[in-house]
Amino acid sequence: MLDNKTDTIFIGKKPLMSYVTSAIIQLATLDKITIKARGHSIGLAVDVTQVLLKKTDAFEVGCVNINSESLESQDGRNRDVSTIEIPISKRGK
């Protein structure tokens, strides 16, 4: 049986380097992680990915998934929110 462990980093309002550090720590023990974000945090997710790729040659990006979710706002209306999932793996794995 293959052990395909995947871990996820959800992007929110923390500083950029907090997510970069978390990703590097997780990739030290796992072969693959996924960075997920939605709404205004999508730009930060892309920035985290770019820092990982530009500062090291150890990682590569897989097939990026963009989508949207329908969420209910506080006033009761449904809103569509964009989402992104960015798989990052160790190069050559």
pLDDT tens figures, 17-37:
999 999 999 999 999 999 999
- The enclosing H or E element of 64 equals none
Q: Which fold has domain 6-90?
A: Translation Initiation Factor IF3 (3.30.110)
Residues 6+ apart with CB under 8 A from 52: 20, 23, 24, 59, 88
- What is the domain partition of the chain in residue ranges? 6-90
Confidence of residue 71 (pLDDT cuts 50, 70, 90): confident
Confidence of residue 5 (pLDDT cuts 50, 70, 90): low
Q: What's the CA gap between 4 and 47, in Å, rounded?
A: 26
pLDDT for residue 4? 53
